[in-house]
């Protein structure tokens, strides 16, 4: 059982406040969603949890504080991050992208085999440039790379954007499977639609703050729609 605790997290860019005192908890075996419109602060929040964006506050896993750790150290503590926008080396092959990921994480080359087993298409395309893969294959490569270290806490930032429905369905099933395997999965999405069936609980984020907490996907979806002015009920904590 893994518990991620985030307390009073704040991120500023100069005088602009992107994350304004966010606290939440996520546990293993569940998919926790952070939903909110563009600019709500979801990516900044995930970056600060992962350690790639500077923030203040407290991030801990099973009571073990990681605040003083770099992103690389947090990876070794069991964090993995799939950032928005598929940050791949487009002029390197699939295999090279995985090798760079394995090297950075201090993993042996045979860790790459696990990515090929999870995503057989990556083995077929091992020698292709990442830049010539389809959007879905690229996202599988990003995910395969993130999963090389068998993370305890997995942060997925808008991973469904722009993908074909068939790929969305495959990745949604994978997200559910990872949670069932015991991973603490966090997803950030502008709306819940594509992931709703695998999300167990979540938070509505707006202008850097959590404005609603729900413990099931339907009421989270309703709270999000209400916060966007799409429904008429009241959002409460
Ligand atoms: N590097 C940066 N420098 C300055 N401001 C930034 C930077 N990154 C994000 N911001 C601002 O911080 C706020 C939150 O952005 P963030 O990307 O975290 O939100 P988001 O909910 O992930 O939105 P999106 O879905 O558009 O990525 C926005 O106002 C954004 O313009």
- 151 pocket-lining for ligand 1 (C-beta < 6 Å): no
What stretches of 106-196 adopt beta strand conformation (E)?
A: 153-157, 184-189
* Ligand 1, atom 6, residue with closest C-alpha: 13
The closest of 204, 181, 180 to 192, measured between CA atoms, is: 204
> Cα of 95 to ligand 1 centre, how many Å?
32
Q: Is 214 left (phi over 0), alpha (psi -120 to 50) or beta?
A: beta
Domain span(s) for CATH 3.40.50.300 in the chain = 1-78+151-237
Give CATH superfamily name and number for 1-78+151-237. Answer: P-loop containing nucleotide triphosphate hydrolases (3.40.50.300)
Q: How far apart are CA 127 and CA 145, in angstroms?
A: 16
Chain length of the chain: 237
pLDDT digits 0-9 by tens, 3-28: 999 999 999 999 999 999 999 999 99
Residues paired with residue 79 on neighbouring β-strands, in sequence order: 153
- 85 pocket-lining for ligand 1 (C-beta < 6 Å): no
Q: How far apart are CA 184 and CA 235, in angstroms?
A: 26
pTM here is: 0.92
ipTM value, please give it: 0.94
pLDDT digits 0-9 by tens, 28-73: 999 999 999 999 999 999 999 999 999 999 999 999 999 999 998 9
The secondary structure of residue 93, as a DSSP letter, is B
* Ligand 1, atom 31, residue with closest C-alpha: 39
pLDDT at 230 over 70: no
Q: How far apart are CA 198 and CA 183, in angstroms?
A: 13
The secondary structure of residue 168, as a DSSP letter, is H
Mutation test of ligand 1: which of 42, 155, 203 has the most ligand atoms closer than 8 Å to its C-beta? 42
Say if residues 67 and 223 touch (Cβ distance below 8 Å).
Answer: no
Mutation test of ligand 1: which of 14, 41, 204 has the most ligand atoms closer than 8 Å to its C-beta? 41
Say if residues 6 and 22 touch (Cβ distance below 8 Å).
Answer: yes
* Ligand 1, atom 30, residue with closest C-alpha: 39
């Amino acid at each position: 059982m893994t518990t991620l605790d985030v307390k009073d997290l704040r991120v500023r860019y100069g005088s602009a406040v992107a994350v304004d005192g966010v606290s939440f908890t996520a546990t293993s075996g569940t998919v926790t969603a952070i939903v909110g419109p563009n600019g709500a602060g979801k990516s900044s929040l995930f970056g600060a949890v992962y350690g790639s964006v500077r923030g203040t506050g407290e991030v801990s896993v099973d009571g073990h504080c990681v605040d003083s750790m770099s992103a690389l150290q947090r990876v070794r503590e069991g964090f993995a991050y799939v950032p928005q926008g598929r940050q791949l080396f487009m002029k390197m092959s699939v295999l090279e992208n995985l090798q760079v990921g394995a090297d950075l994480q201090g993993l042996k080359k045979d860790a790459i085999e696990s990515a090929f087993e999870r995503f057989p298409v990556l083995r077929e395309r091992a020698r292709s440039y990442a830049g010539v893969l389809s959007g879905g294959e690229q996202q599988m490569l990003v995910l395969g790379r993130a999963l090389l270290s068998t993370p305890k806490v997995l942060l997925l930032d808008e991973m469904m954007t722009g993908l074909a429905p068939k790929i969305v369905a495959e990745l949604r099933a994978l997200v559910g499977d990872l949670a069932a395997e015991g991973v603490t999965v966090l997803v950030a999405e502008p709306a819940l639609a594509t992931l709703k069936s695998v999300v167990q609980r979540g938070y509505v984020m707006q202008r850097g703050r959590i404005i609603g907490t729900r413990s099931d996907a339907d009421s989270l979806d309703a709270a999000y729609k209400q916060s966007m002015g799409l429904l008429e009920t009241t959002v409460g904590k």
